[in-house]
Structure 1
Amino acid sequence: MDQFKESLSSTSNDMKQREKLRTLCETRWSARADALFTFLSCFDVVVDALDNLKDMGDDKASSHLNNILRFDFIISLVTAEHVVQSTVVLSKVLQKKSVDLVEAVEEARVVKTVLRDERDDNGVWTELFQKAVEVGQNHDVEAKIPRLAGRQRHRVNVPAETPQVYYKRALYLPFVDHLLSEIEDRLVAPEGRFLAQGLIPSKLLALTADVEHEILAHYAAELPYHQGAENEIHRLVTKLSQVDRKPETILETLEGINQDLYPNIYTMLAILMTIPVATSTTERSFSMMRRVKTYLRSSMGQDRFSSLCLIHGHKDFPVRVDEVIAEKKARQLGLSIQGRKLTITHFIQIYLERLLIQFLVQFKACVLL
């Protein structure tokens, strides 16, 4: 293991002294890109390590070695690493808490354009294929077309004359097309809720009458004064035509617009602002619960659990430790009696005094009888 870590950290300057392979994360897309890059960069080290384990009699190492020393695996690794790297920036933007829908869609359009241009550029695929061939040649793996079967339906039987053409049709094009389709359906597709982005001042001057009517029809149930919505838009267009610098984001628009003068526009932009771009924040809460509620803390109460999650999730908020400890001690040692906060010693003293008074009252009653 030590030799593997040393070889991995010294493989390339781009490895940034990584000492182990990274798992293929199921939720964070940027972590997947990093895992694929690490595995591809240290492919030779992984092969050597598995070969050594195989000589030591490890059956699992032999199986893993046979699986990765196949050209279909190598070309898939090279292709996936290149394509996923194009979406890393978009993934990080979508995981930010401050991102809005308009910014996310604009960045998604940029990524989609880049992927489409690379799909149509034959030179990109040629470069990827040559890179996979070089990786395979270092380990005597030949680039060849898999065995085809005319009647078998569960195997990719695309017609091709060379391995380069085969893997482009069977692997590269379907993968890129699927990714483009997902980006289009999830982010870029013009839905009714997203049309309100046309009310942002930087885009309002280009708003057409058809889009305006569609926006008002979609938000009709939420508008406070639906009858005057068109008049508001026209007044805002006239006002913005006299302004040089126009807000470009939803947040800037909401901060600069007068809610009393433009209540309908303010309502539509507020609804658009609250539409979640992704579920990263919700997924982080589940990961946070798994880290906080361990088997050593399985018996803690709900208040303590909620407090620990808030502290863990909002590290940027300062916590005054002295005040928390003082309040904790006061809650544990103090008791409120007749508006006074008393320590345990004072409470015991008062309790004994009351017992003594009750005893004297009962003793006096017995004497009088």
Structure 2
Amino acid sequence: MFSSIIDVLEEITNDKLNSEQKYEASIMLQMVQTYDFVFSLHLVMNILGITNELSQVLQKGDQYIVNAMDLVKICKKQLLMTRDNGWDSLVEEVSNFRMKFNIDVLDMNHMYCPQGKSRCKATKLTNFHYFCVDSFNTVIDLQLQELNSHFNEANTELLLCLACLSPTNSFSAFDKGKLIHLAQLYPCDFSTMDIKVLEYQLQTYVDDMRSYVKFSGLKGMVDLSKKLVETKKDKVYPLVYLLIKLALTLPVATTSVERAFSAMNIVKYQIRNKMGDQWLNDSLIVYLENDVFNAIDNESIIHCFQNMKSRRGQL
């Protein structure tokens, strides 16, 4: 595939019709044939290879949470092994690739010089320090940091408790002890008396679900919540249904927070670094809820501002 990319870029570079694309292709052609690019390509490919199964399982829903938690531990272990013992094998991969496509050799003992900079202005680092310490170790450490941040001991325990609500395979993941512990994590929603009632309600609930044909073949907690409402079982087992609602709300809340933090980097960038909190909050709402605001036509917005202006004039 790499050779095909090179051929396409060379074709665009030799094209006389579009000078702008020709220039961009020429720059890109030079970049992809550098040691820096090839090294980064193989490093990212190795990391994605380690985390691929985990990424796939995390996208499959609540019925795969237990498998996901096992894969998190495996990914952490493999990343640590790669950091400690994977440098030489990565350099060998890059070297074989470089020889195949006639990319310039790089002496790890020489001083590193970034593409497009003169050696006199470059940071005084050896190639080994830059590629091994600043790139290889740093990127792997960031991956481990992200996994530890998103799947620390508390989060892992919470997710494993949530998995016990899954209706797949006739509620095979059901664990009353873990669900009681899950309820205890929400003291504002479950009082001490509620916890005691829930302990008895859970066993009746799971026996009922396993014997009810309508609850066989459900694929996740979303289907389960819909079926409980449809059959009025949410009224029979109100505390269990509250647990399910909390379990369904948690991923949405977490995703919303992550979206908000990601959007902050887009809305409040370097040029807007003095943006006030109120203006930032208003801008984030418009950015995050763009589906809602896209449905509002310009005339309605103008009319709203005109009304606000007239009211302020009256005051």
TM-score range relative to shorter protein: 0.5 to 0.7
1:287 pairs with 2:272: no
2:302 aligned to 315, 320, 325, which one? 325
Write the letter of the residue equivalent to 1:201.
Answer: P
- Counterparts in 2 of 1:130 and 1:215: CA distance versus 1, 3 Å: same
Deviations 1:105-157 (A, max 9, x none): 7567568779989999xxxx9799445323156245279999xxxxxxxxxxx
1:77 pairs with 2:31: no
Larger Rg: 1 or 2? Answer: 1
Q: Larger % of helix: which?
A: 2
Matching residue of 1:213: 177
Q: TM (normalized to structure 2)?
A: 0.54
Matching residue of 2:31: 46
1:223 pairs with 2:190: yes
Alignment of 1:1-369 (within 5 A): 10=9, 45-46=30-31, 76-86=39-49, 87=51, 129-130=92-93, 132-136=95-99, 138-141=102-105, 183=147, 186-187=150-151, 190-192=156-158, 194-202=160-168, 205-207=171-173, 211-220=175-184, 221=187, 222-223=189-190, 225-241=194-210, 242-243=212-213, 245-257=216-228, 258-276=233-251, 277=254, 279-290=257-268, 294=272, 302=278, 306-317=281-292, 318-333=295-310
Kindly state the Cα deviation for residue 198 of structure 1 after the two structures are TM-superposed.
0.7
Matching residue of 1:151: none
Calculate percent identity across the aligned residue pairs.
Answer: 12
SS at match of 1:141: coil
CA–CA distance in structure 2, aligned partners of residues 236 and 18 of structure 1? 67
- Counterparts in 2 of 1:84 and 1:324: CA distance versus 1, 3 Å: same
- Counterparts in 2 of 1:108 and 1:143: CA distance versus 1, 3 Å: farther
Deviations 1:182-216 (A, max 9, x none): 647743864146313212222663246xx422331
CA–CA distance in structure 1, aligned partners of residues 105 and 150 of structure 2? 39
Aligned CA-pair RMSD: 5.5
Kindly state the Cα deviation for residue 324 of structure 1 after the two structures are TM-superposed.
1.7
Does the CA-based 8 Å contact 1:229-1:265 persist in structure 2?
Answer: yes
* Unaligned 5+ runs, structure 2: 1-5, 13-20, 83-87, 111-131
Matching residue of 2:114: none
Aligned pairs, number: 252
- Counterparts in 2 of 1:78 and 1:246: CA distance versus 1, 3 Å: same
Q: TM (normalized to structure 1)?
A: 0.48
SS at match of 1:248: coil
CA–CA distance in structure 2, aligned partners of residues 18 and 260 of structure 1? 67
- Counterparts in 2 of 1:249 and 1:20: CA distance versus 1, 3 Å: farther
Write the letter of the residue equivalent to 2:95.
Answer: A
* Unaligned 5+ runs, structure 1: 1-6, 22-38, 49-67, 147-166, 338-346, 348-369
SS at match of 2:236: coil
CA–CA distance in structure 1, aligned partners of residues 225 and 55 of structure 2? 26
Deviations 1:161-188 (A, max 9, x none): xxxxxx9xxx79x987995796477438
Kindly state the Cα deviation for residue 306 of structure 1 after the two structures are TM-superposed.
4.5
